[in-house]
Each structure stands twice: as structure tokens, then as C-alpha cells.
Amino acid sequence: MTVLTANAAALLAGPRGRRLCLEYAMAVNPELGQVMFLVAHQAAPERSVLITLTGDGRDGSEPSPPAFTVADAVALIATTDLREIDTASVRAALRASVDAAMYWQPPDGHDTVCALPDMRAALAPVAKALLASPTGTSWKAARAEEQWAVDWHAPMDASPLPSNTMALLTTWDRWHREEEARAALEPPPEMFSGTWWSAPGAPLRTRGHVADALELVEDNAGLEVATVIPIRDNGSARVLEITSAHDWASLCRTFPLEVTASRRGDWFHVTGRDRRRLLPEWSRVALDWDAVHLTTFAYLSAATSLIEIDDEYASVIGGWGPDATLWLTDTTHESNEPRQHWVRDPGTGEWARKL
């Protein structure tokens, strides 16, 4: 039995962290991927890829899929070679976990299976090994000085950086108070879906690495063209580091904005729990902080899960990403370095810089 460190336990407490560990194990152990494909389908067939089997038709019967169980997956995870962690596979696993983050429906089959106690226990050695790797040790890093923003257009169509950020935040907060009032007057439809993200999209967002800015994007909707913009600040920015679910809960508790009615559908779908709900009121946060940075570790351990604030309220981190920084004041500026033009290859899905 693997004795979990606090960091490994926190990683496995988060749906995105569990999925990261599973994706890595499947990448280096292909047989596990084949088994999990069917086990995940059995766990959540309505949210999985449709399985169509073909047979020779000689007896006129419909073919049946192979019978695999969670125990089979657990046994295969135990055979995963963790002696040398492959950096490229860790990167691919992180990208797959972010791609699977969905807030408008219940967890998919893989996430559902990962949450089972036997699977969480089986993934414990994977979590420990990944956290001890060179990539894993960087997941708790604070915001890097060098930052990059993305405009999802070609250079000739790209826009200037957002400005007058306080006005953007005030508008966002006001819109959410109005949405909350409207939603409170409406009966809660069984499959209600609406606004699910937890941070405004209009202000500037940055990442510490170009690859993260391009690849680690929730709900990316098949983005294929990007202008990457180098961002710098004057070095005196007040940056709040979100390193855990506890930090996010504290932020919501300090600057509460109630969103119980407006988030009742989506956040219930993704977490399976119904509580009164809070978000930070971002225009008030901006009075104390210039930016909020979500570490990769905090994302993996907390995103797409219900974060307890107190006995009455909870929250969700949604619409962010690993190592993402949300700028709340006009503290930053575009550097003198040239903007970069990037295009995704439709065949491979890989991003390439155009010179």
C-alpha cells in the first residue's frame, strides 16, 4: 500500500489531477488504455464515445464487447513502469486532462471511474512519481516574470490588449448580480445550463509559457490560429497566488458574490452536489490585488470539484487553466518583442510558429 504524501493526496483529490495520473499511465501502458476505453463506457455510456462492434455475422448474433472491470484497470495500473518519468507523456497527459474539463455536464466515464476508491488508491504511486519528476516539481511555481497572452486571431485581425480593466470587472460583477436575480425568479429546470465559468473573460489573461497558452485551454472549441503576445509588468504587481482549494475558498469568503441560482444547473452537473454558491466579486478583489495567479498544482487539485467555503457555501474553479494569471488592473504592458503567429496543424493537432 502506497503511503500518500500531502501533495499526492491533494492531487488525487482533484478530478483533473486524477485524470492526469490516469492519462499518463495509459500513455506508457497502452493495454490499460484499451481496458479503460471499455470500462469508462460502462461507467457512463451516455457521455462516452459510441462503441460499434462488427462480427463475421455467421450466426446472426450481435457481437458483445470484451468484459473488463475496474479491477482489471487497477491491476494494469500496478504494472505501469514509473522508474523513469517521460516528460513528453506527462505533457500529453496534462493536455488531455485539461481537454476533458467540462462544466456543463456530469463527468465523463474516465473521470467517473477515476473517482472510485480502488482507482484512486491504484493511482497513488503514479501521483507520487509524477510529483517527484522535474515537470511535477514545477507545478507549484509562482507566476513567472515572463508572461504571454493569446489573441485567437491571425496577426492582421488581432486586437490591442484589454484596457480600463476596472470598468470591465465592474460590468461583469453587475451582470452577474442581475443574472442571479433573474435566475432566482425562475423555476430550476432539470437540465438547466447557463454560465459556468468563475472568472471574467474580458480582462487580460496570461500564461508563463507559450505552449501552455496555446495548448492548455479549457473548452477550446477547435481553435486553430493564434497571435501570441509577450507581456511584462513593472515588477511591483500585487499578485495573489492561488495554490490550493483553500486559497480559492478564502478569496470567495473575503470578497463574496452569490451565484447560487445562476450556477445551480452546471455546477450541480459537474460536482454532483447542491449547495449555495459563491464567486469572488472581482471588482472588489482588484482594490487589493493587481492579478490572481492559479498555479498548475491548484488547478489539478481543485478545478471541476466542489470547493467548500463554509457550512453553507461552496464554489467551483471553472474556465481557468494551469498556471493562468488573471489581471485585475492595467499594470501590465505589451513588451517590445514582436508578436508571434502560430497555427495548429489540422492533421497532427500540433501548434507551429509561422515566421
pLDDT tens sequence across 225-234: 999 999 998 7
Task: Establish if 280 belongs to a structural domain.
Answer: yes
Q: Are residues 341 and 222 in the same domain?
A: yes
Range of the domain at 35: 6-138
Report, as an integer, the average pLDDT of 38-46.
85
Q: Are residues 63 and 19 in the same domain?
A: yes
Task: Establish if 13 belongs to a structural domain.
Answer: yes
Q: Which of 92, 119, 138 is the last residue of a domain?
A: 138
Q: Are residues 124 and 195 in the same domain?
A: no
- For the cut 70, the answer to whether the pLDDT of residue 63 exceeds it is no
Look at residue 58 in the predicted model and tell me its pLDDT.
59
Q: Which of 114, 138, 162 is the last residue of a domain?
A: 138
- For the cut 50, the answer to whether the pLDDT of residue 355 exceeds it is yes
Q: Are residues 89 and 177 in the same domain?
A: no
In the chain, the number of structural domains is 2
| Gap between the Cα atoms of 207 and 96, Å rounded | 18
Task: Establish if 1 belongs to a structural domain.
Answer: no
Q: Are residues 131 and 157 in the same domain?
A: no
Look at residue 184 in the predicted model and tell me its pLDDT.
86
Report, as an integer, the average pLDDT of 143-158.
94
In the three-class reduction of DSSP (H, G, I as helix; E, B as strand; rest coil), residue 20 is classed as helix
Which amino acid is it at 156? M
Quick: pLDDT tens for 275-307.
899 999 999 999 999 999 999 999 999 999 999
Contact present, 308 and 271 (Cβ < 8 Å): no
For 79, list phi and psi in degrees, rounded to 5. Answer: -95, 0
Q: Are residues 114 and 209 in the same domain?
A: no
Length of the chain: 355
Report, as an integer, the average pLDDT of 327-355.
93
Strands 256-258 and 225-233: unpaired
Q: Are residues 323 and 299 in the same domain?
A: yes
Task: Establish if 35 belongs to a structural domain.
Answer: yes
The closest of 263, 291, 294 to 277, measured between CA atoms, is 263
Q: Are residues 114 and 160 in the same domain?
A: no
Look at residue 53 in the predicted model and tell me its pLDDT.
47
Q: Are residues 155 and 119 in the same domain?
A: no
Longest Cα–Cα distance of the chain, Å, equals: 75
The closest of 67, 114, 75 to 93, measured between CA atoms, is 114
Task: Establish if 251 belongs to a structural domain.
Answer: yes
Instruction: Supply the mean pLDDT for the chain.
Output: 91
Q: Are residues 157 and 285 in the same domain?
A: yes
Q: Which of 138, 167, 187 is the last residue of a domain?
A: 138
Q: Are residues 253 and 337 in the same domain?
A: yes
- For the cut 80, the answer to whether the pLDDT of residue 255 exceeds it is yes
Quick: pLDDT tens for 96-139.
999 999 998 899 999 999 999 999 999 999 999 999 999 999 99
Q: Are residues 129 and 219 in the same domain?
A: no
